[in-house]
Amino acid sequence: MRQVHVIVSGRVQGVGFRAFTQQVAVETDVMGWVENRDDGSVEIKAQGEDNKVDAFLMQVRKGPSFFAKVKNIEITEEDVETAFQKFEIKY
């Protein structure tokens, strides 16, 4: 099991990015959460099998549509302390 902490910056708020991220997580069988941050970026915690996390991150880099524009993505590998049971949008 692999866990990553991700910060996505660019035009990623108000463009359906969190819903897109949750949809991609469900499709790739990745668990965790996504949340908007006060600085305009989006924060993600995601965990799953290596190849599934890689597939998830590849889609997150692209973003949901032409409305969103991912400028930067910071990925930090983390130790898995607790297994997430689903992928949720935090408000």
18-37 pLDDT per residue, tens: 999 999 999 999 999 999 99
CATH code for the domain of 70? 3.30.70.100
Q: What confidence tens digit (pLDDT) does each residue in 55-86 have?
A: 999 999 999 877 899 999 999 999 999 999 99
Range of the domain at 78: 2-90
N-to-C CA span, the chain: 26
In sequence order, the β-bridge partners of residue 5 are: 45, 76
- Residues 88 and 91: their CA atoms lie apart, in Å, by 10
Residues with catalytic roles: 18, 36
* Count of structural domains within the chain: 1
Read off the pTM.
0.96
